[in-house]
Structures are given as C-alpha cells and as structure tokens.
A and B are shown apart, each in its own frame.
Chain A
Amino acid sequence: MRKGEYLGNFELMSLLALMRLGHDAYGVTIATELEQQTGREVVIASVYATLERLQERGLVSSSLGEATPERGGRAKRYFRITGAGLREVREARRSLMNLWKGLPDLKGEKA
C-alpha cells in the first residue's frame, strides 16, 4: 500500500483543471474552469491555497508570467502539474474507478 496523504476533492479537481488548461493555467482560468465544470462559485484565493499546498508536496510547479494593465500591473502566476502530480492523479483515478466498480447506477443517471 502506498504511503502519504490522499488527494482531497478540491485538490484533485484543481490538478485536473491544470491538465485541461495546459500552459494557460493561472488563477482566473483555473477558477473559471472549475466553475464551469462544477457549477459552483470558486474563491480564487482557495485555488491558490490549494495549489500552494500541492506545490509544497511537489505535485505542482509555478512560474511568474506577464503583468498586464487590467491586472493593475500585477504578474500572473502560472501553474503546471509535475510528473509526481500526474502519478498522483492516475493513482486517484485508479482508486476511484475501483471503488465505483460494481456499484449500482445512482438514481437519475447512468454510471
């Protein structure tokens, strides 16, 4: 059995958003992606808090981007998933798929 912390729900969703966005993943685009896919409002600071935590665990890397006038001259911080992050996502997917297997369809939708 693997040691270490499990990915939280929001952590996993943030990593998936990074994978979907590729090179254009920064606070606004990540929050928008999460909002579009989940239908819930996302607090931008909580995206940063989550990604900073994932960065401390080596699952995400970040770099400063360009500053634009509409941002008040403040630079964007771009995030990218690392190799370790990808492995963690794969592992989470495998675990979740195993847990879903054999369960009856949830009411109102097909599995």
Chain B
Amino acid sequence: MTARRPPAIATWIWKHFGCGPNQEAVLGDLAEEYLRKGSRMWYWRQVLKAIPVSVFKEVRSHKRIAARAMLIGWAIWTIFAVMNNPLFFASFFRGNMAGVEIQPRHPVGIWAFLVWVQVALPFLIKMLIGWIVARVDVGIDPTKSLGPKLNVRFHRDLVLLFAASVLLLNILVVGLLLSVADARGYPLIRPLAANAAVSVFAVLLGGSLRRSKNEESSVD
C-alpha cells in the first residue's frame, strides 16, 4: 500500500512557521484528513490560514513580551533609519570632516561605499533586529511567565509578528505613494516592493539564527 504523502513544502512551512504547543498534533490531523480528502489545495489552505491563527493566539496570550519585542525592534529600526538617512550622513560629514576631500580617486571606491551603506549594512542591521527580537523572551522562565506557560518556540511568533509589521508598514508606504503620486511616482514602487521583500527576509533570517534546544531535536 502506498500512502499518499501531504505536500512536503506546506508541511515544512508549518513546521518552521507554525506555533503553539499542539503543532505536532495539528500536523497529524492534517495528514489524517489529507488521506481522506486527497486535496492538495485543502492542505495548503489549512497551512496558510493556520500560521496567522497560531501566531495571533500565542501573541494574545503573552501580550507584554510581544509588546516589548515590537518596541525594541522598532526603536532600533528607527534609530538606524535616521542614521542611514542621506541627510544625516551629509550633516555628519559637514560637521566632522570639514575640509577633508571625500571624493575617492577610484570610482570603485564610491560604489563599494554605496553598496555597503545602502545594501549590505541595512541588510545586516535588519538581520540583527530579527535576532534581537527573537531573544526578547530569553531569561524568562516558561513556567513563571505571566499568563499561560510560555511556549519554547515563542520567539518564532515574535519574529513573525515583527516581520508582519515591517511588511504592513511597507504596504502602507506603497499604498500612500500610489494614492498621492502621479505617474512619476510609479517607478519607485518596484524598488520599494523589493526593499520590503528584502527587509522581511532579513528579519526572518536574523530571527531564525536563534533555535531552542527542543527545536534542534524536533525539527527536521
């Protein structure tokens, strides 16, 4: 007898982004129902709807820790956004490097500088923010936390919540741009969308660097 296996990618997504103490039981139920229904669409729909449901439930149970994670994440994000602003750089150079020739002789130098400042550094900072957000619950005794017992995978919920807020903010910015800008503003939408995708990826990547001891043994 060949048992039909549920979609592997959807299962992987649920294992890595799903939350809650009954994650394994949900997977078992999905596998059991998939055998009966045999619909890949049904399975995918269940997984994609399950992730926000489980994250919201966990965050609702531990509002204080979630609020702390959001506050810390956005505070660092804001400080970096201000410091990485071209106007800030200009004033910094004017104030501290008066009279210094900053134009490099080799164009490669300025390109390397721009790539570092505009691409690599923001990516690393966003990764760092993801990593910090994932560590907000470190040191809290799961059994002594306020409210229900803290899940060992709660840091994933925090990272997903923060990544969702980053995505939401970017969607709002693009929406605002679409509503106020005329056709001249449209070329900006593609880089903004790319920036949103890269930002979310960086946060998730940084957050994934923290793994709990239980996860190391339970996640494939």
Contacts and interface: CB of A to CB of B under 8 A. Distances in A.
B47 to A, nearest CB: 8
B57 A44 contact: no
B30 interface: yes
Contact of B46 (A45, A53, A74): A45
Contact of B35 (A48, A67, A70, A77): A70
B25 A68 contact: no
A56 B61 contact: yes
Given A43-B49, A43-B50, A49 B20 contact: yes
A72 B27 contact: yes
B20 A71 contact: no
Given A26-B29, A44-B46, A46-B50, A74 B61 contact: no
A84 interface: no
A49 B54 contact: yes
Nearest to B21: A52
A56 B33 CA distance: 27
Interface in B32-51: 32-33, 35, 45-46, 49-51
B20 A76 contact: no
Interface in A42-63: 43-46, 48-49, 52-53, 56
A7 interface: no
Interface in B170-191: none
Contacts of B7: none
Given A43-B50, A70-B32, A48 B26 contact: yes
Nearest to A45: B50
A19 interface: no
Interface centre among A45, A49, A56, A71 (most CB of B within 10 A): A45
B26 A45 contact: yes
B201 to A, nearest CB: 24
Given A46-B50, A52-B20, A77 B31 contact: no
A74 B30 CA distance: 11
B57 A52 contact: yes
B215 interface: no
13 contacts: A28-B32, A43-B46, A43-B53, A45-B46, A45-B50, A48-B20, A49-B57, A70-B35, A71-B28, A71-B29, A71-B32, A75-B25, A77-B25
Closest 5 CB pairs of A and B: A74-B28, A45-B50, A27-B29, A71-B28, A49-B57
Interface of B: 3, 18, 20-22, 24-33, 35, 45-46, 49-51, 53-54, 56-57, 61, 147-148
Interface of A: 26-28, 31, 41, 43-46, 48-49, 52-53, 56, 67-72, 74-77
